[in-house]
Amino acid sequence: MALNQKKSNELFKKAKRIIPGGVNSPVRAFKAVGGSPLFIESAKGSKIYDVDGNEYIDYVLSWGPMILGHSHPAVVKALQKATEKGTSFGAPTPLEVELAEMVRKAYPSMEILRMVNSGTEATMSAIRAARGFTERDKIVKFEGCYHGHADGLLVKAGSGAATFGVPTSPGVPKDYARNTLTLPYNDLKAFKQLCEKTGKSIACVIIEPVVGNSGCILPRPGYLEGLRKITQKYGIILIFDEVMTGFRVSYGGAQKAFRIKPDMTCLGKVIGGGLPVGAYGGREEIMRKIAPDGPVYQAGTLSGNPLAMTAGIETLKILSKPDTYKQLMAKSKALEEALKDAARRADVKTKFYRAGTMFCTYFTDKEIYNFSDAAKTDTAMFAKFFRKMLERGVNLAPSAFEAGFMSLAHSQADINKTARAAYESFKAVK
Ligand SMILES: *Cc1c(COP(=O)(O)O)cnc(C)c1O
């Protein structure tokens, strides 16, 4: 049942001659699962179409942003209208204020916030603000959490880096990485001990409250609460990197679901509605340090871009309707049941985790609490499973350490088809 990938393969050959690895972001290259990537022609709703005319039910959703499904008519129409008014002005627009207010309403902990162009920019800028505010240099991150590719954050950074076995990237000066302290996720004792030793030199802790960049790892009960308490005690800024979990775990993100108020929050992915956007924000006294209110510099030629703001606003308008999350959660739950059931019937040992609309199936019979647990799962079996699913018209992320995503556009028929494909694929990889 091999896929016809003729045009994709030709394009990949051509792409590799001019783009590193043929791709503009590493995990897209399918290195972890073998074979060569699909080149995409278009996407609509829950479906994505490659240049060879194959159709797939898409659970990658541009790595999270397309929560309404692809090419949502309301978003497309708003973008068409916005394009005619001009695509960039380098000056403030009403759209930026509108989206910022929508975001703050959903994330009240972001008292003041700024738009940037990617999640990477958001985390990099939030950390700069935290360091500027506390006048401390050290930061703490957790193994398997990815916070974008800024220098100093590429230490034990989950999916992309883990997939390629490059825990720390060459090109990052040792002096930068030295200020990044790394601990295992879900281990409160380790964090407490670190703080007892050197808490007063730590500017901030940055964390994915649910780790989507090692699959989907949930916080143990009390873990996030513990981090909140200890950081407060030592005057450490707690940054929730909700670039993935934002509007995914719930409308108000992981902070709403777990009832934790971080000092700062980073967003991206969903708030751009498929266009390049990030945002960072938090307590007013920290955010007032940002230029031109304060001395911490951060800027962007295209930041707050009118098209990106428009896509974000339209997306949040639909997401904020009363019934939307009920539907999203019901679909996600139905997929969970279907995938678990398929694995059970095929008699393949898996662990499935879900946080709202993001999920992951690990090929293991042990519970997953941190990155080293995830790293011990059967990635070769996942790679085979991935290929079998693709052949059956289901597009999963091409790595065992990535989350899958549900959209509003996925139908019960999509879920049924996915369940059948999963059962056959589980059977085939045993
Ligand atoms: C995707 C992601 C980022 C990086 O965002 P980009 O827009 O790819 O730069 C940062 N943090 C988390 C948690 C992410 O999932």
Q: Mean pLDDT for each consecutive 10-residue tract of the chain (430 residues)?
A: 90 97 94 93 98 98 98 98 98 98 98 98 98 96 93 70 53 82 95 96 98 98 98 98 98 98 99 98 98 98 98 98 97 98 98 98 98 96 97 97 98 98 97
Residue 394 has phi, psi (to 5 degrees) of -125, 120
Strand partners, 280: 114, 266
Q: By alpha-carbon position, which residue is closest to atom 15 of ligand 1?
A: 244
Residue 118 is predicted with a pLDDT of: 98
- The burial of 108, by beta-carbon neighbours within 10 Å (0-12 exposed, 13-18 middle, 19 or more buried), is given as exposed
The first and second tokens of residue 24, run together, are 């503009």
Q: Is the CB–ligand 1 distance for residue 402 below 6 Å?
A: no
Contact assessment for residue 235 and residue 202, using Cβ atoms and an 8 Å cutoff: no
Pairing state between β 47-50 and 40-44: antiparallel
d(CA 177, CA 156): 11
Residue 166 is predicted with a pLDDT of: 42
Residue 193 has phi, psi (to 5 degrees) of -65, -40
Amino acid at 94: P
Residue 174 is predicted with a pLDDT of: 76
Q: How many CA atoms lie within 13 A of 248 on its CB side?
A: 33
Q: Is the CB–ligand 1 distance for residue 213 below 6 Å?
A: yes
Residue 40 has phi, psi (to 5 degrees) of -95, 135
Residue 111 is predicted with a pLDDT of: 98
Q: Is the CB–ligand 1 distance for residue 268 below 6 Å?
A: yes
Residue 164 is predicted with a pLDDT of: 42
Question: Comparing C-alpha atoms, which of 154, 134, 124 is closest to residue 203?
Answer: 134
- Other residues' Cβ atoms within 10 Å of the Cβ of residue 76: 15
Residue 429 is predicted with a pLDDT of: 96
Catalytic residue check, 241: yes
Strand partners, 47: 44, 57
Q: Is the CB–ligand 1 distance for residue 146 below 6 Å?
A: yes
Residue 160 is predicted with a pLDDT of: 53
Instruction: Report the atom number in ligand 1 closest to the C-alpha of 213.
Output: 15
d(CA 119, CA 278): 5
Q: Mind listing the domains of the chain with CATH numbers? A: 6-71+323-429 (3.90.1150.10), 73-319 (3.40.640.10)
- pTM for this one? 0.97
| 191 alpha carbon – ligand 1 mean position (Å) | 24
Residue 403 has phi, psi (to 5 degrees) of -80, 155
Catalytic residue check, 146: yes
- The burial of 177, by beta-carbon neighbours within 10 Å (0-12 exposed, 13-18 middle, 19 or more buried), is given as middle
d(CA 47, CA 66): 11
Catalytic residue among 146, 325, 353, 362: 146
d(CA 327, CA 419): 19
- The burial of 287, by beta-carbon neighbours within 10 Å (0-12 exposed, 13-18 middle, 19 or more buried), is given as buried
